[in-house]
Every structure is written in C-alpha cells, then in structure tokens.
Amino acid sequence: MSAVVLLSAALLLCLINHIQAEAAGSTEEFDVKPGGLDYTYTRRLGDFSCSFSYAAQGGTNEKWHMSIGVDEESRYFSCSIWRPLGSSYLYFMKFKAEVSGGKIEFCEAYSQADKPLKKSEYEIKDTTVSDVSGSFSSSLSKLTIMARSTHAEL
C-alpha cells in the first residue's frame, strides 16, 4: 500500500474517533432480531441520519448499539453500528447501512473478533454500504462509516 493511502486511512480513523468523541451521549441500544424478516433501525442527529436494515437468522435477540456523531463544523459525520459484546451469533442473510445528509467517504465492516470483512463481501456506494449477495460470509459484528456533509455552506 502506498504511504499516501496509509496516511489517508489513518487520518480518516482519527477523524472518526474525534467525531465520536464530540457526540457524547449519541449512542443508543437496539435489538437485532432473528427470524429472517426485514428490520430497520434509524438514528437522526440534526440534518443527518443513519439507517441499518438487515435480515438475520438464529438464536434470540441481540443487543447492538448505533452511534451517530457530527464534527463541530458539520462537515463530516460518522455512523457506527456494532455488537458491544463483540461476536454475534446471528447469521446475517443481508445488511444495508444508509446515510442521509452526506456522501460516504470511508467505511469498514467487520465479522467476528473484529476481523475485517473482505472487500468483495460488501459494496460502498455514495450513501449506502451493503452486502454482496453470494460473496458475503453472513457474519457481521461492526460497521463504521464516515461521510462528508452534502449541505452547502451559506
């Protein structure tokens, strides 16, 4: 990997951590439910929102968290979706995270034990991150998204 790519990734991670620190109190717990039905959980913060849609099988409900944060200038915002106990025992048939109010600039998805998903398992578009049918391993424990605001300054 080139030094520029590594430096850019490191700066984006620092920015995400800063945004999450600025957004103290913006984390909520929600249930991820098995049963194979489609579910969606959404959080809003000002002009920004993040939605997590999924269908999963196996076990019982799991407690997950979603955090959304915005930097002081409202130029960037982050959305993190994760299982606080680490590994999930659910089998994800599909997933999709969608942001509004910005365009995704960075995303990482993780399976069990904070192991990154292969880039072939998910796709990133302007405002969505979703599984790639046929390539996704059905294992998910965390998504981290950083987006640049699309709101024009006055």
Token output for 84? 């606080």
Q: What is the pLDDT of residue 59?
A: 84
- Show me where the domains of the chain are located: 3-149
**β-bridge mates for residue 68, sequence order:** 79
Residues of the chain with pLDDT under 70: 1-25, 152-154
The pTM for the full model equals 0.83
Q: What is the pLDDT of residue 13?
A: 47
**β-bridge mates for residue 141, sequence order:** none
